[in-house]
A and B are shown apart, each in its own frame.
Chain A
Amino acid sequence: MLTHEQLYGNKANPNFEELLRVIKGQIPSKPVLFEFALNDRLLGILSGEARENNTSRIAPFRRLIRAFTNAGYDFTTISAWRTNTLHFVKGDLAEKESRSLNSGNMISDRESFEAYPWPDPELGDYDIYYDLREELPDGMQLIASGNGGLLENVIDLVGFEDLSMMTLLDQALTTEIFDAVGSRLLRFYEIVAPIETVGACIVNDDWGFKNQTMFSPDMLRRWVFPWHRKIVAAIHKSGKKAILHSCGQLKDVMDEVIDDMKYDAKHSFEDQITPIEEAYKLWGKRISIMGGIDMDFLARSTPEAITNRSKLMLEQGLLHGGYALGSGNSIPEYIPDKNYFAMISAINS
């Protein structure tokens, strides 16, 4: 196990209040890290358990919490796919290193829409969020996220190209599908956000390709954004903060993310779209900026270059507030461990 002491020379002392300061746009009293997900190899290194231990329902979460604690985070992210609280059944999603947005679709018309086994979010077992109270170190809280987002799930259920056609040729059915998914995701967040172990929520929903949003902003405004507005309001109603994780080119809708949906923080940035340094300058005064060290940069740069860039971003965050250091998206298996550690080691300085 790689402990916090081995990484940073001191014992772990998570303090969720520091992350909250960042999310509120304030200057934290220490450098703060943010990450959506760590790959299983890293979880093994950081927890001391090479493989997930399923001997009890708590065991996999204990491993997760230990890994996040040792890595220096003030929180542990916990996704609905881990807690199995809300899951939209998908068709055959063939996967390699990526998967097609056109595969696995189960809904093609009204008949298949009505036959679809819609999940009931009320039936999820939310006890795990309560039971983890005993596992969390003092000062640490959970950040809860959904099992995919609204647009992501609708694309999975219909297929991207078929959904594109449906938005033009059968708008009534399109509306019903978005509402069926959106209402369930809203209920999920209404249930998890008030739980005392949950300090904030990530609403994860990719909206963009490299050059533009996947659907026109008008379509997003019609079918996607109203549900996000409701989800953020539900999270805020519980006194918690809402972090949007959304990949792709979103410049045309960032004002709405901030002013209309009222997200507190934005996560996921790509150098080829808006490098994190530019994103922080563009939007950092209006919404907190999380992570952003580009995935390709993390995968292919030297540890020295990664640490230097990370330090520079941290310095900006400690000068102006509203920034936590992390990757542009997550830490998948293909990011070399030494590069990940080079990034987080920047908080040492």
Chain B
Amino acid sequence: MDLARLVELGKIDKNTPHPPALIGQDGVLELTQLAIKKEIKAQIILNEGLMPGMHAIGEKLSRGEVFITDMLIAARAMNVALGQLKPFFLSGEIQAKGTIVLGTVKGDLHDIGKNLVKMIMEGDGWEVKDLGTDVSEEQFVEAVNNSTDAIVGISALLTTTMLHMGSAVQRLRENNPNTKIYIGGAPVSQSFCEEIGADGYFSNPHGLARELRKAPKLLI
């Protein structure tokens, strides 16, 4: 079985009892180690071996064909592989597609949606700066000041906390008018996105990665 399929299935390593049909078989860890041993270029392992698996599970999640549990275990498998590739990131042999600053808005501690976006973006080759939850406008601004090319993703769970998105967008705009800002979360809608002047809204965690793949120049 190929690496991408193992990522998609969440077969972390040989000892992982999931999926039941692959018990005892090599997983993402072993295949990634093998690919490195065979001196396959790290960027190729990432782009052609691992990322297609995350793309596949993300697409299936957005179509409702799989569930968050499936995404979480796929992301865990991906993380194990990324751990093996870390030296190549550090040496510069692998280049991230870009940087995204992520955070749940002020007053809001909900993190499931944000974490899903983080996993998907990492799996899509992005460097993610996760500011966590209850993130103030100042924290977003500071993070963008430290990564001026970064795009920003802001999440909210509640109707009340969603309203903080507007001031965060405003502060970010004042600070760096060219920063692209995307929003998501249960109460958020396209009309709210337009109302607060964000650059985009995605109703599922895979939406941003998909759009960036389709038209990276347009969106970044």
Say yes or no for A29: interface residue by CB 8 A criterion. no
Nearest to B16 among chain A residues (CB) is: A169
A224 to chain B, nearest CB (A): 13
Say yes or no for B175: interface residue by CB 8 A criterion. no
Say yes or no for A272: interface residue by CB 8 A criterion. yes
Say yes or no for B143: interface residue by CB 8 A criterion. no
- Chain B binding surface SS class: loop
User: Quick check: A160 and B17 within 8 Å, CB to CB?
Assistant: no
With an 8 Å Cβ cutoff, the count of chain A residues facing the other chain is 33
User: Quick check: A213 and B159 within 8 Å, CB to CB?
Assistant: no
- B residues 160-202 touching A (CB-CB < 8 Å): 160-161, 186-187, 189
- B residues 129-145 touching A (CB-CB < 8 Å): 133-134
* Tally of contacts, chain A with chain B, CB under 8 A: 89
| CA A214 to CA B61, docked complex, whole Å | 12
Nearest to A160 among chain B residues (CB) is: B112
User: Quick check: A98 and B110 within 8 Å, CB to CB?
Assistant: yes
Say yes or no for B103: interface residue by CB 8 A criterion. no
Q: Which residues of B contact A161 (CB under 8 A)?
A: 72, 112, 115
Q: Report if A211-B69 is in contact (Cβ < 8 Å); known contacts: A97-B108, A98-B110, A98-B157.
A: no
Q: In the complex, which of the residues B10, B109, B110, B134 contacts A168, with contact meaning CB atoms closer than 8 Å?
A: B10
| CA A210 to CA B10, docked complex, whole Å | 24
User: Quick check: B158 and A98 within 8 Å, CB to CB?
Assistant: yes
Q: Which residues of A contact B107 (CB under 8 A)?
A: 96-98
B206 to chain A, nearest CB (A): 10
Q: Which residues of A contact B112 (CB under 8 A)?
A: 100-102, 160-161, 209
Nearest to B192 among chain A residues (CB) is: A296
Q: In the complex, which of the residues A97, A102, A165 contacts B158, with contact meaning CB atoms closer than 8 Å?
A: A97
Q: Which residues of B contact A213 (CB under 8 A)?
A: 67
Q: Which residues of B contact A219 (CB under 8 A)?
A: 67, 69
User: Quick check: A96 and B109 within 8 Å, CB to CB?
Assistant: yes
Say yes or no for A123: interface residue by CB 8 A criterion. no
A66 to chain B, nearest CB (A): 28
- B residues 35-67 touching A (CB-CB < 8 Å): 64, 66-67
Say yes or no for A13: interface residue by CB 8 A criterion. no
Q: In the complex, which of the residues A99, A216, A270, A334 contacts B67, with contact meaning CB atoms closer than 8 Å?
A: A216
User: Quick check: A167 and B159 within 8 Å, CB to CB?
Assistant: no
Say yes or no for A300: interface residue by CB 8 A criterion. yes
| CA A295 to CA B158, docked complex, whole Å | 9
Q: In the complex, which of the residues A95, A165, A216, A295 contacts B76, with contact meaning CB atoms closer than 8 Å?
A: A165
B59 to chain A, nearest CB (A): 14
- B residues 1-25 touching A (CB-CB < 8 Å): 10, 16-18
Q: Report if A102-B73 is in contact (Cβ < 8 Å); known contacts: A97-B158, A169-B16.
A: no
| CA A253 to CA B18, docked complex, whole Å | 25
The listed residue with most B CB atoms (<10 A of its CB), out of A98, A103, A211, A334, is: A98
User: Quick check: A272 and B110 within 8 Å, CB to CB?
Assistant: no
| CA A300 to CA B192, docked complex, whole Å | 12
Nearest to B106 among chain A residues (CB) is: A96
Could you show 14 A-B contacts with beta carbons less than 8 Å apart? A97-B107, A97-B108, A97-B160, A164-B69, A168-B18, A168-B73, A169-B18, A209-B113, A211-B203, A211-B204, A215-B68, A216-B67, A216-B70, A295-B159
Q: 3 nearest interchain CB pairs?
A: A168-B18, A216-B67, A164-B69
